[in-house]
Amino acid sequence: MVSAIVDSMILMHYDNGHDQAIDWWERSVEDGWRFYVSIISLMERFKGIAGMYGSRDEVLQGFRERLYTMKREKKIIRVLPITRRISDHARKLMVEYCRRKTPSSNRGRMEALICDMLIAATALEQDLPLFTFNSGDFDWISELALKRPDYEIVWGGDV
Amino acid sequence: MTTDKKVKLARKIGGQLTGITPSEWSKWSLYATHFGLSRAIQFARTMKNSPSLRPGPKQSYRTIAGVMRRFQKELERLSQSDLAEVLGYIRQALFARRG
């Protein structure tokens, strides 16, 4: 059994019903991977689906039910909370990031950076590798083990 | 059943479908409209364990078998044309999720 954290974009691909992402996730679980998700990814997903067509309550409830199913079927082992240690670690990562790079002044990118630091800190505190497509956002954190899923999204390919 | 109620039911069902692709849904819907809901659910239950399928499509059938069984009684009260309509709205809901 091997464990890892799956980042927000991969969760979004799966939940959005992309063949390649579902195939990768299911194959990995069959191969014995145990996937964890940060509460931050979950919050990002709630934000992402809120704009969908239909009753807001129904849309949010739908995601809650899908998430429940994923946990019941062990597609997600656990949603990892932000502990005090994780928030301390994330703060240190952010300080280090600011020493090395110039953070964007764009509000959206700033929010994304904070989310990334919290997810990276969660992976480090839990001693888990992180599956992500955004290795460029994390590769300066030398102690963080990054993995890239071996799928590509083909837009419009699976109608 | 009014169109509003059909759309509402479709959204409720679609919201519960996890790890499913619109393409697998379309194939299964076609089967359901041709052979009936009960047989189609049985088909999904067979396919979810099929060794010839990739893990992704297997998951699609697993979720169809689980979710559609929960709504089977409600859907069986519908006429064939209403059922086809609801299944079509579910497909739209799955596409809408992609944004």
- Give the mean pLDDT of B68-77: 95
Domain membership flag for residue A157? no
Residues of chain A below pLDDT 50: 158-159
Contact assignment for A66 to B17 by CB distance below 8 Å: yes
- Give the mean pLDDT of B52-77: 95
Residues B27-64: tens digit of each pLDDT: 999 999 999 999 999 999 999 999 999 999 999 999 99
Angle formed at CA A86 by CA A106 and CA A103, multiple of 5 degrees: 20
Q: What's residue A80's pLDDT?
A: 98
**Residue of chain A minimizing CA distance to B56:** A23
pTM of the model: 0.92
Contact assignment for B15 to A70 by CB distance below 8 Å: no
Say how many domains are in chain A: 1
Interface of A with B (CB under 8 A): 14-20, 22-23, 25-27, 29-30, 48-49, 51-55, 58-59, 61-63, 65-67, 69-70, 73, 75, 158-159
Q: What's residue A159's pLDDT?
A: 43
- Give the mean pLDDT of B13-40: 95
Nearest Cα of chain B lies from the Cα of A62 at a distance, in angstroms, of: 4
H helical segments located in A16-106: 19-30, 39-49, 56-72, 84-100
Domain membership flag for residue A82? yes
Q: What's residue A109's pLDDT?
A: 87
For residue A19, what are the domain limits?
2-147
Q: What's residue A156's pLDDT?
A: 58
Kindly state the tokens that stand for A136: 């460029």
Q: What's residue A138's pLDDT?
A: 92
State how far the Cα of A91 lies from the Cα of A74, in Å rounded to an integer: 31
- Give the mean pLDDT of B59-83: 95
Q: What's residue A54's pLDDT?
A: 79
Q: What's residue B76's pLDDT?
A: 94
A2-6 vs A33-38, strand pairing mode: parallel
Q: What's residue B55's pLDDT?
A: 94
Domain membership flag for residue A159? no
Kindly state the tokens that stand for A61: 């409830």
Residues A62-108: tens digit of each pLDDT: 999 999 999 999 999 999 999 999 999 999 999 999 999 888 888 88
In percent, the amount of chain B with pLDDT more than 70 equals 99
Domain membership flag for residue A11? yes
- Give the mean pLDDT of B61-71: 96
Q: What's residue A83's pLDDT?
A: 98
**In the predicted model, what is the mean pLDDT of chain A?**
93
For residue B27, what are the domain limits?
3-97
- Give the mean pLDDT of B13-28: 94
State how far the Cα of B74 lies from the Cα of B86, in Å rounded to an integer: 11
Say how many domains are in chain B: 1
CATH classification at residue A132? 3.40.50.1010
**CB-closest option in B23, B62, B93 to A159:** B23
